[in-house]
Chains A and B, each alone.
Chain A
């Protein structure tokens, strides 16, 4: 019911934010690692 209250609302919020940050941080970290390993970059 879209009346301003949804049960478990924060659960969804945490899932989304957690997922978003995880993706961004993991990708950045992988780039850092790959750039360090590459002698030409």
Chain B
């Protein structure tokens, strides 16, 4: 257990350092000025969100391949942490967009596919709460996770095509050398933090799943009362 919290603490520490440098020591961005410092919060969140969902995808394959609860717990954790990071990145992005692009939202391929990704995996979490049978829930959410993850690049490409008639919004693609260091530190910070949070959340999920697996199954569906037959009903 303490291993988990050490990873989390490491993550937070690196993040503090990365953000600290980014906010106070690094130079302001050439075009955006100080608003460009949002980079150190936004970009690590985006990278790690995608990596977390990749982790969920791998766990989903593990679920289908082995049927073991541990994979299901890890998948549940990764999806939840991923959705958190994804929601964060969308809001960070919207706030960043207001001063730089003038609007909160555009149909930029990255932003749009991030939104679809967030809603998809949020749907997986909802699905998990709707299905009460452990085996069925595991299978359904694994299949959905796999399909939704495969969908991410497809959505990205199609929105890019869809948008190609309109002007692409510019965003900092190349990062200045002086900004690379805090960005990298913050990215590693976010990565360790996400791993630690997944470990913790996974533990919680596994405990719950083990308890559920031990409990008797709920009936399939409530049986309609048969009042006409005259026979005593169950």
Q: Do chains A and B touch in the complex (CB under 8 A)?
A: yes
- A-side residues, CB < 8 A to B, are 2-6, 8-10, 12-13, 15-17, 19-20, 23-24, 27-28, 31-32, 34-35, 38, 40-41
The stretch among B61-69, B109-117, B127-135, B202-210 that forms the contact with chain A is B202-210
Interfacial chain B residues near A31, Cβ < 8 Å: 197, 200-201, 204
Bound complex: CA A6 to CA B127 (Å): 43
Bound complex: CA A5 to CA B208 (Å): 52
Q: What are 5 contact pairs spanning A and B, CB under 8 A? A: A9-B32, A12-B35, A17-B19, A24-B15, A41-B204
Bound complex: CA A28 to CA B12 (Å): 10
Task: Give chain A's interface secondary structure class.
Answer: helix
Bound complex: CA A2 to CA B15 (Å): 28
Q: How many residues on the B side are at the interface (Cβ–Cβ under 8 A)?
A: 39
Interfacial chain A residues near B147, Cβ < 8 Å: none
Known: A5-B33, A38-B204. A12 touches B98 (CB 8 A): yes
Cβ B31 vs Cβ A3 within 8 A: yes
Cβ B32 vs Cβ A38 within 8 A: no
Cβ A12 vs Cβ B99 within 8 A: yes
A39 smallest CB distance to B (angstroms) = 8
Cβ B193 vs Cβ A24 within 8 A: yes
Bound complex: CA A10 to CA B31 (Å): 15
